[in-house]
């Protein structure tokens, strides 16, 4: 499988380059960065700390989509939307791990999915996707006597909060309880807030250091507390899931798929 990697000089781009190179049957054929980036012209393998791959980082996204069977996107919302349009035009499979998308950007992905296979997930980690499912199962079994709180922590450079994964966990819990997430979500508390509302789903975002990603879902009742958690120590877990998603999507028809589809959880 020929794979393209936008944002190749970034932390996730480098992790993706390493993972694709280490996966039998996959190869990096194109890598891009934004115009003017200092990494332009450099070998993407050398950037990722492995042997040179003979693939220079360029700034022509359309050429990348034409050369690749699949593109793995962990960039920014605006870039992900543009890449979705290119994927649709070129018929290239697209795997999207970018979070923080607005309504227009999400609409671009959905439009692309009418033309090609798109796999989108707020987190590509296999363990985190099992956490989504476990959260939904537990929330459906425990009633509102159990308060749900979701705590996430990421490195100081992360620009969106709560994380897409935390929001996905909140939506999974709300879905299991048959409520609208936006109506019960409490995205941080400050000052005199009053007593916690029954049925509320709380979210807390912590930022600091070089933490790759930690997510905990807490079910707290009088007398006991159940906690589900995944702690990622490096980005290769996300990269491994993204490559698995691309391989799963090969030969699939157009559609907007999730990691639950990839893992056979639905």
Residues in contact with 99: Cβ distance below 8 Å, sequence separation at least 6, in sequence order: 122, 160, 163, 164, 165
Q: Pick the catalytic residue from 37, 155, 157, 158.
A: 158
37 is catalytic: no
Pairing of strands 147-154, 213-221: antiparallel
Give first-to-last CA distance, the chain, whole Å: 26
State the Cα–Cα distance between residues 230 and 208, nearest whole angstrom: 17
154 is catalytic: yes
Structure tokens at 55: 């693939």
DSSP state of 43: B
Which phi and psi (to 5°) does residue 225 adopt?
-145, 130
Structure tokens at 121: 């997930």
Q: Pick the catalytic residue from 2, 37, 154, 157.
A: 154
Query: Taking the alpha carbons of 110, 106, 29, 252 in that order, is the dihedral positive or negative?
Result: negative
Cite the active site residues. Answer: 154, 158
């Amino acid at each position: 499988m020929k794979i393209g990697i936008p944002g190749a000089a970034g932390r996730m781009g480098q992790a993706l380059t390493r993972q694709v190179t280490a996966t039998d049957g996959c190869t990096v054929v194109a890598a891009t960065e934004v115009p003017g980036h200092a990494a332009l012209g450099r070998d993407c393998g050398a950037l990722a700390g492995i042997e040179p791959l003979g693939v220079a980082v360029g700034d022509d996204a359309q050429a990348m989509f034409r050369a690749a069977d699949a593109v793995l996107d962990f960039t920014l919302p605006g870039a992900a939307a543009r890449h979705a349009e290119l994927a649709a035009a070129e018929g290239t499979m697209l795997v999207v791990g970018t979070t923080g998308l607005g309504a227009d950007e999400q609409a671009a992905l959905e439009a692309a999915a009418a033309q090609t296979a798109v796999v989108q997930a707020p987190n590509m980690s296999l363990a985190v996707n099992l956490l989504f499912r476990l959260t939904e199962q537990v929330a459906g079994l425990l009633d509102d006597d159990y308060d749900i709180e979701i705590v996430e922590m990421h490195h100081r450079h992360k620009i969106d909060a709560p994380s897409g994964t935390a929001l996905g966990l909140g939506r999974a819990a709300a879905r299991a309880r048959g409520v609208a997430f936006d109506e019960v979500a409490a995205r941080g508390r400050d000052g005199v807030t009053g007593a916690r509302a029954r049925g509320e789903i709380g979210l807390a975002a912590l930022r600091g250091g070089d933490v790759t990603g930690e997510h905990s879902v807490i079910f707290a009742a009088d007398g006991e507390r159940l906690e589900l958690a995944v702690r990622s120590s490096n980005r290769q877990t996300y990269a491994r899931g993204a490559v698995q998603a691309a391989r799963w999507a090969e030969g699939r028809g157009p559609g907007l798929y999730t990691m639950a589809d990839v893992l056979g959880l639905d």
